[in-house]
Amino acid sequence: MLARFAAAPLVDKYEAYQRLMSYWAETMQDDVFIIVGDGWAAAKELREARKEVDGNKTKWLEEADLTVNKTRLVADVIPPALVVARFFPELQAALEARESRAEDLGREIEELVEEHGAEGGLLVDALTEAGKLTAASVKARIKTGEADAEEAPMLKRAAKLLADETAAKKAAKEAQAALDEAVLRKYPALTEDEIRTLVVEDKWLTDLATAIGAEVEARTETLTARVRVLTERYGRTLPELAAEVEALGAKVAGHLAAMGFDG
């Protein structure tokens, strides 16, 4: 690392080395310990998240990397996101599209409430006591038969948006489940070459590149700030400053002359 960054003008070689050592202490050391102890195949192992059971209460001691059929699993070496990115980009894209659709519908419903849910608005009678617009509250308002010619179309529009949002959320949930199942099946099927690629290239080298990139960005921002200060301080040439001083001097002399102080 010291040799590699010796000629890099924007990165201090010892800072780059420190980034590596920090990553080693935080992440890479544990990965290497597992791989050296049990071979590359150990890197694809999944285990159930640690927990404490006290009577009927369960306390999870660590976050799950993957949850399938309510089983919380932890990947100690290869995060599911790396498996998804390399092997299932289409499933990930489908999930994101469905989540985006659900979010768009949610925002549209919020805007509808903001526009028509205030006092005197067409949806004010369709809100819950908490001021929310729900499928049940809209259905209850329609059922009363009290909606007039203006309110009825708005209620119909709100009902459709809510139904579409529910369907979109269900589709997103199904897409997430399909992706999780695919990832779960892929772990035990990973070959040693695939494991090496995921661990060395997709995880270690990518994480280090990101860390070094952050160092470069920080250095760049520092240099930019210094250049900005220099520009503000020395942005005007000496002849310009001399001319301004001369003009100000003449102005002062003129004021003094007007006050009777000649010479």
Q: Is the pLDDT of residue 237 over 80?
A: no
5-36 in b/e burial notation, b at 16+ Cβ within 10 A? Answer: beeeeebeeeebeebeeebeeeebeebeebbe
Q: Is the pLDDT of residue 85 over 90?
A: yes
Range with the lowest mean pLDDT among 82-91, 190-199, 249-258?
249-258
Q: Is the pLDDT of residue 212 over 80?
A: yes
What is the percent of the chain where pLDDT is above 90?
A: 63
Per-residue model confidence (pLDDT) at position 123:
93
Per-residue model confidence (pLDDT) at position 262:
63
Q: Is the pLDDT of residue 261 over 70?
A: no
Confidence of residue 36 (pLDDT cuts 50, 70, 90): very high
Per-residue model confidence (pLDDT) at position 81:
96
Q: Please report the DSSP string for the chain in residue order.
A: -TTTTTT-TTS-HHHHHHHHHHHIIIIIHHHHHHHHHH-GGGGG-EEEPPEEEETTEEEESS--SEEETTEEEEESSS-HHHHHHHH-HHHHHHHHHHHHHHHHHHHHHHHHHHHHSSTT-TTGGGS-TTS---HHHHHHHHHHT---TTHHHHHHHHHHHHHHHHHHHHHHHHHHHHHHHHHHHHHHH--HHHHHIIIIIIIIIHHHHHHHHHHHHHHHHHHHHHHHHHHHHH-S-HHHHHHHHHHHHHHHHHHHHHTT---
Confidence of residue 197 (pLDDT cuts 50, 70, 90): very high
Confidence of residue 256 (pLDDT cuts 50, 70, 90): confident
Residue 44 to residue 79: CA distance in whole angstroms: 9
Higher pLDDT, 164 or 216: 164
Confidence of residue 217 (pLDDT cuts 50, 70, 90): confident
**Amino acid in position 208:** L
**Amino acid in position 248:** L
What is the percent of the chain where pLDDT is above 70?
A: 97
Residue 226 to residue 214: CA distance in whole angstroms: 18
Per-residue model confidence (pLDDT) at position 243:
85
Higher pLDDT, 101 or 248: 101
Annotated domain spans of the chain: 91-173
